[in-house]
Amino acid sequence: MPKVLVSDKLSETAVQIFRDRGIEVDFMPDLGKDKEKLAGLIGQYDGLAIRSATKVTEKLLESADNLKVIGRAGIGVDNVDIPAASKKGVIVMNTPFGNSVTTAEHAIALMFAVARQLPEASTSTHAGKWEKNRFMGVELFNKTLGLIGAGNIGSIVADRALGLKMKVLAYDPFLSEERAQQLGVKKVELDDLLGRADFITMHVPLTDKTRNILSRENIAKTKKGVRIVNAARGGLIDEEALAEALQSGHVAGAALDVFATEPATDSPLFNLPNVVVTPHLGASTTEAQENVALQVAEQMSDYLLTGAVSNALNMPSVTAEEAKIMGPWIKLAGHLGGFIGQMTDEPIKSINVTYDGVVSEMNLNALNASVIAGVMKVSNPEVNMVSAPAIAKDRGIQLATTRQEAAGVYDGYIKVTVITDQRERSIAGTVFSDGKPRFIQIRGINVDAEIGAHMLYTRNKDVPGVIGALGSTLGELGVNIANFQLGRTSSGEDAIAILYLDEPMSDEALAALDKTGKFLQARALQFEV
Ligand SMILES: NC(=O)C1=CN([C@@H]2O[C@H](COP(=O)(O)OP(=O)(O)OC[C@H]3O[C@@H](n4cnc5c(N)ncnc54)[C@H](O)[C@@H]3O)[C@@H](O)[C@H]2O)C=CC1
Ligand SMILES: O=C(O)CCC(=O)C(=O)O
C-alpha cells in the first residue's frame, strides 16, 4: 500500500481522500518547518503533499529514496527544486486553478485597502481617534490598472477590475493579442505599463526572468503616485527600493501579501505609512483550501494507484484511461530502449523513434520518456520516465520522433534507432491483442520474439550448424530455452537469434558460446517484465 506524508497545513479533506482511496497517510502539518526531522522521515514515503512551508531541496530529495510524487496544494512551486526532483525521478504536481479566484480576490481586496488606507483607518478608529480628515483615499473608477502577468489569476483580476470600470493594461510576453482582446485588456510592454498605471498588480511566477522585475530602476519608471500590489511572490520586487520610493512619496502606497523571506518577521516596508501587509494569505479561504486539498489528494492518489498523471510540471499528462490503454505500449517502449541500451557500449548521440499506426495516435511524450528511460537504465538503474528526459538532455542526446500511418502488417509498431559515432542500431516492437509486447525486427531482420526477463541475443553468419551449437551448448549448461526466434537477411548472410530463457545467461555460458567460434556476438539481456 503506498504511503503519503502531509507535511504542511492542508485541509484534512486531503487526508480523508487518501484514506478513502486506500493510501496510508501521515498528517504532520508542522513537519515542513523542521528540515532535519523531515529529512529523517521522508525515506518512508511514496508521496509528499505540501503547501509552501515545506522546502523540497536537493538535499531533502537525497533522503527521499521511495518518493514518487510531490503534490503542491496550490500554484507556486518555487519551494520545490524541480530539476532535482526530475533527476531523482519524482513527479511534481500542482493544482493550477483551485485557489486562483481566492488569490485574485485578495489582490482586489489589497487594491481597495491601499486606495482607502483601510487597515490604518480601522486601527485608528478602534483606538477611539475618529480621524476622519486623515484618511483621504482615491477611487478605482476610471483608473488604469497595470497587470504584470495575465495568466489564470491575472485574468480574473482583469475581469474584476473591468467590472469596477478600471482600464486594464497587461504586460505578459506569452499573452496573445487575441487573448488580450478576449479579456478586454490592452497588451503593452513593461515600460509602457510602468509609465501609465495608477495601480500595478503582480501575477507572475517567481522565475529567473521575473525575479526583481520591479527593480529599483523599474520602480523609478513608474508614474508618480502609483500604488503597487503584490500577491504573487516575494522576490518580484526590490523591497529596499520600494521602501525608499514610498518614503520619498513617489509611490503612494503598497500592499504586499508575499515577501522575499518568509515568514517575514522584519522588512524595510514594515511600519511605513500606507503599506498594507498580510502574511501570505492569498490562498487562505475555506473554499480554496478545500479545492486544492481535494485536487492534490486525488491527483496524487491517481498517480500512485493508476499511473495517471495530471498537472505535473516535469512529466507529460497521462489520463487513467490512457495509462490503461498505453500501459503495454509504454512497457514495450521501455523494452525497446532497454534492448538498445544493453547492446550499446559507446556514447549515444541521438535516439530516433518512429511511431506507426495505432500507437502514433497516443501520448508520444510519455512513450518517448519510456524509451529514453529504458536506454538510460542500463547505466543508471535509478532512472525512470520522469528523470530520463532531463538526464538525456544533460548528456546532449538528441531525440527525434516520427509519426506515420500504419505501414505494415501490424496495427501499429514502435521502432527505435540509436546513433553513435560507431554505428546505427535499431529494433522494432509491437503489442499483440493479448496485450503482450513483442520484438518484431532487429537490425532490419524480421522476428516474432516474446519478451522475457532473461534473454540471449546472438549474431552469426548464416551457415549450417550454428543453431545446433547454440542449443547443445545451452543444454549442456542446463539453461532451458522458453522461446527461440531466428532470422536472417538472406541465405549465407547475417543471421540473428533471440532466445527467451528460464534463467539468466551466466558468464560461463557466454564463454562457452564464444568458445564454439560460431558466433560474431552473444549478449545476455535482462528485462523488467
Ligand atoms: N499569494 C498567494 O497565496 C498566491 C500566489 N500565487 C502566485 O501567483 C502566481 C501566478 O499564478 P497564476 O496566474 O495561476 O499562474 P499562471 O501560470 O496562470 O500565470 C502566470 C502568467 O505569468 C506570465 N509570465 C511568465 N513569465 C513572465 C514574465 N517574465 N513577464 C511577464 N509575465 C510573465 C505567464 O505568461 C502567465 O500568463 C503563481 O506563480 C504564484 O506564485 C498563486 C496562488 C496563491
Ligand atoms: O498555500 C498557500 O497558502 C500559498 C498558496 C500559494 O502561494 C500558491 O498557491 O502559489
**Binding site membership of 80 for ligand 2 (Cβ less than 6 Å):** no
Among 131-135, 239-243, 491-495, the minimum mean pLDDT is found in: 491-495
Separation of alpha carbons 210 and 60, rounded Å: 26
Ligand 1 mutation pick, 202, 204, 237, 295, max ligand atoms within 8 A of CB? 204
Ligand 2 atom nearest to CA at 52: 1
Separation of alpha carbons 64 and 44, rounded Å: 8
CA of 303 to the centre of ligand 2 (A): 22
Instruction: Decide if pLDDT at 382 tops 80.
Output: no
DSSP class of residue 473 equals: H
Is residue 504 a part of any domain in this protein?
Answer: no
pLDDT tens digits, one per residue of 45-54: 999 999 999 9
* 286-306 vs 12-20: helix crossing angle, rounded to 10: 30
The candidate with the shortest Cα–Cα distance to 210, out of 383, 76, 43, 83, is 76
Is residue 371 a part of any domain in this protein?
Answer: no
Pairing of strands 226-230, 251-256: parallel
* 100-116 vs 286-306: helix crossing angle, rounded to 10: 150
DSSP string, 23-44: -EEEE-TTGGG-HHHHHHHGGG
Note whether 44 and 64 are within 8 A (CB).
Answer: no
Q: Would you state the cell numbers that stand for residue 436, as one nine-digit string?
A: 503482450
Q: Which of 280, 335, 438, 454 is catalytic?
A: 280
280 counts as catalytic: yes
Residue 454: φ, ψ to 5°? -120, 125
Query: pTM, whole model, 2 decimals?
Result: 0.81
pLDDT tens digits, one per residue of 104-147: 999 999 999 999 999 999 999 999 999 999 999 999 999 999 99
**Same-domain status, 58 and 178:** no
Pick the ligand that lies closest to the CA of residue 207.
1
Flag whether the ipTM exceeds 0.95. Answer: yes
Q: Would you state the cell numbers that stand for residue 171, as one nine-digit string?
A: 504586460
Instruction: Decide if pLDDT at 393 tops 90.
Output: no
Q: What is the CATH number of the domain that holds 167?
A: 3.40.50.720
Q: What's the confidence (pLDDT) of residue 529?
A: 85
Residue range(s) defining the domain that contains residue 66: 1-96+283-315
Rg (CA), the chain: 30
**Binding site membership of 283 for ligand 2 (Cβ less than 6 Å):** yes
Q: How many other CB atoms sit within 10 Å of the CB of residue 348?
A: 21
Residue 131: φ, ψ to 5°? -90, 65
Separation of alpha carbons 369 and 431, rounded Å: 18
Is residue 79 a part of any domain in this protein?
Answer: yes
Q: What's the confidence (pLDDT) of residue 397?
A: 92
DSSP class of residue 223 equals: P
Find the helix or strand (DSSP H, E) in which 183 lies. Answer: helix 177-183
- Total domains in the fold of the chain: 2
Is residue 308 a part of any domain in this protein?
Answer: yes
* Amino acid identity, position 413: Y
**Same-domain status, 208 and 79:** no
**Same-domain status, 24 and 44:** yes
Query: Using 50, 70 and 90 to split pLDDT, how confident is the model at 494?
Result: confident
pLDDT tens digits, one per residue of 420-472: 999 999 999 999 988 899 999 999 999 999 999 999 999 999 999 899 999 99
Stretch 500-518: mean pLDDT: 93
Domain end residue (candidates: 248, 277, 306) = 277
Cis peptide before 263 (omega within 30 of 0): yes
CA of 46 to the centre of ligand 2 (A): 23
pLDDT tens digits, one per residue of 192-220: 999 999 999 999 999 889 999 999 999 99
**Same-domain status, 195 and 302:** no
Tell me what the pLDDT averaged over the chain comes to: 94
Helices in 395-496 by DSSP H: which ranges?
466-476
Query: Using 50, 70 and 90 to split pLDDT, how confident is the model at 481?
Result: very high
Ligand 2 atom nearest to CA at 94: 9
pLDDT tens digits, one per residue of 255-275: 999 999 999 999 999 999 999
Q: What's the confidence (pLDDT) of residue 257?
A: 98
Who contacts 168 (Cβ-Cβ below 8 Å, separation ≥6)?
144, 145, 147, 158, 161, 162, 183, 184, 185, 186
Q: Would you state the cell numbers that stand for residue 138, as one nine-digit string?
A: 482615491
Who contacts 349 (Cβ-Cβ below 8 Å, separation ≥6)?
396, 397, 398, 419, 420, 421
**Same-domain status, 26 and 159:** no
Among 29-43, 159-173, 245-259, 322-336, the minimum mean pLDDT is found in: 322-336
**Same-domain status, 266 and 291:** no
Helices in 272-422 by DSSP H: which ranges?
286-306, 320-343, 364-377, 388-394
**Same-domain status, 14 and 29:** yes
Instruction: Decide if pLDDT at 246 tops 90.
Output: yes
Is residue 203 a part of any domain in this protein?
Answer: yes
Q: What's the confidence (pLDDT) of residue 517?
A: 93
**Same-domain status, 219 and 249:** yes
Who contacts 160 (Cβ-Cβ below 8 Å, separation ≥6)?
104, 105, 108
The candidate with the shortest Cα–Cα distance to 298, out of 3, 9, 7, 23, is 23
Q: What's the confidence (pLDDT) of residue 44?
A: 97
Domain end residue (candidates: 277, 307, 326) = 277
Q: Please return the burial class of 177, using the count of CB atoms within 10 Å of its CB with bins 0-12, 13-18 and 19+.
A: exposed
**Same-domain status, 17 and 145:** no
Distance of CA 489 to the CA centre of its chain: 44
Is residue 305 a part of any domain in this protein?
Answer: yes
131 counts as catalytic: no
Note whether 339 and 332 are within 8 A (CB).
Answer: no
Stretch 306-328: mean pLDDT: 87
Instruction: Decide if pLDDT at 383 tops 90.
Output: no
The SS3 assignment for 147 reads strand
**Same-domain status, 91 and 104:** no
Stretch 280-292: mean pLDDT: 97
Separation of alpha carbons 146 and 228, rounded Å: 9
Separation of alpha carbons 434 and 431, rounded Å: 8
The candidate with the shortest Cα–Cα distance to 12, out of 285, 302, 289, 287, is 289
Residue 374's alpha-carbon distances to 330, 338, 341, 343, 430, in angstroms, are 10, 4, 7, 12, 16
Stretch 283-312: mean pLDDT: 95
Q: What's the confidence (pLDDT) of residue 264?
A: 97
Spell out the long-range contacts of 468-474 with Cβ–Cβ below 8 A and sequence spacing 24 or more: 469/513, 469/516, 469/518, 470/497, 470/499, 470/513, 470/518, 470/519, 473/509, 473/512, 473/513, 473/516, 474/499, 474/501, 474/509
Separation of alpha carbons 516 and 493, rounded Å: 19
**Same-domain status, 106 and 86:** no
Instruction: Decide if pLDDT at 82 tops 80.
Output: yes
Residues in the ligand 1 pocket, defined by CB under 6 Å: 74-76, 96, 99-100, 103, 148-154, 171-174, 203-206, 209-210, 231-233, 257-258, 280, 282-283
CA of 210 to the centre of ligand 1 (A): 10
Q: What's the confidence (pLDDT) of residue 490?
A: 79
Q: What's the confidence (pLDDT) of residue 434?
A: 86
Is residue 23 a part of any domain in this protein?
Answer: yes
The candidate with the shortest Cα–Cα distance to 318, out of 328, 307, 331, is 307
Is residue 139 a part of any domain in this protein?
Answer: yes
Q: What's the confidence (pLDDT) of residue 384?
A: 85
Domain end residue (candidates: 224, 259, 277) = 277
The candidate with the shortest Cα–Cα distance to 356, out of 300, 299, 415, 400, is 415
Query: Using 50, 70 and 90 to split pLDDT, how confident is the model at 33?
Result: very high
Q: Please return the burial class of 26, using the count of CB atoms within 10 Å of its CB with bins 0-12, 13-18 and 19+.
A: middle
**Same-domain status, 221 and 308:** no
